A = this chain, B = another copy of it.
C-alpha cells in the first residue's frame, strides 16, 4: 500500500490544487487503489485499507474516495445500481464487464477517440465527458492482472 514517491507527490499536488489537505487516510486509500487495480468497491477498499490501518472507518473511506474522485486522481464506475467501483484514473478508457465472473476489464481506446465518438452528436451538443461500457464474455484464460 506504500505510495511511490512519485504517486505521493502527484497526490499532494492534486490535493493542494483543490485546496485540500494531505492526510494519512487519503494517502493510504490512494495506495490501496494503486496496489491492486481490480476495480474494488468501497467495501473492498475498506477491507484492504484496514489491514494496514485498522482504525480507519468506512465513512472515511467513502470520504477519501470522493475526495480522490474530485481531484480526478480516481474514477468512479457504476454498473446499473450495483455498488460503485473505483480505479486510479489512467486517462480515457472504456470498461468491459464479464458476465461470467463479474470482473471488470479496462479497454484502451485509440487516440482521438473522444473527438471521433462525439461526431454522433447532433449540432449544438457540447460533450464534456463520455462513458462507454460493454458487457458480455471476456476471454476465459485472461490473467488476473489484465483486470486493471
Size bin of chain A's contact surface: 35 or more
Question: Chain B: which residue is nearest A80 at the CB level?
Answer: B78
A129 contact from B76, B81, B134, Cβ within 8 A: B134
B residues near A105, Cβ cutoff 8 Å: 125
Taking the closest CB of chain B, its distance from the CB of A89, in whole angstroms, is: 16
B residues near A135, Cβ cutoff 8 Å: 127-130
A132 contact from B76, B78, B107, B117, Cβ within 8 A: B117
- Chain A residues 94 to 129 lying within 8 A of chain B, measured CB to CB, are 94, 96, 99, 105, 107-110, 113, 117-118, 120-129
B residues near A120, Cβ cutoff 8 Å: 94, 107-110, 113
Alpha-carbon distance A52/B130, docked complex (angstroms): 38
Docked-complex contact B134 and A118, CB < 8 angstroms: yes
B residues near A108, Cβ cutoff 8 Å: 120
Complex interface bits, A3-23 against B, C-beta within 8 A gives 1, otherwise 0: 000000000000000000000
**Which A positions have Cβ atoms within 8 angstroms of B?**
76, 78, 80-81, 84, 94, 96, 99, 105, 107-110, 113, 117-118, 120-139, 142
